[in-house]
Amino acid sequence: MIILSYINEKVKFWDYSYRVHLHEYDTKGLLVNANNESDALDYAIDYAEKHGWEGLFAEPAECTQEELDHMICGGNSSRYLSSSDYVRIIKLD
């Protein structure tokens, strides 16, 4: 699925625009309006969760604390990304 519009608003009114890539095979990324990278990541994680991208997320009950410590956690539900090594957040001009 290619997202060509912003996932959180159709009109840009935040300070910055970002392209967020949540996994290693994500070549297009998600366009997000946000005030900072952390907020952009939270919006992207919420979007992925809302649209059923469950393969991106790790289940904390199935992971050791050491594994969780190396994963990115975000979004309203504090979801852990199983492929945190591949997350990229690019600030757009």
Residue 2 is predicted with a pLDDT of 46
Query: For residue 50, what are the contacts with CB-CB under 8 A and spacing of at least 6?
Result: none
Quote the pTM value: 0.87
Residue 83 is predicted with a pLDDT of 87
Tell me the per-residue pLDDT of 3-46, one tens digit each, with 9 for 90 and over: 468 888 765 667 899 999 999 888 889 999 999 999 999 999 99
Q: Distance (Å, rounded) from C-alpha 86 to C-alpha 25? A: 9
Handedness of CA 90, 1, 79, 60 (dihedral sign): negative
Q: What is the CA radius of gyration of the chain?
A: 13
Amino acid at 83: S
Residue 1 is predicted with a pLDDT of 44
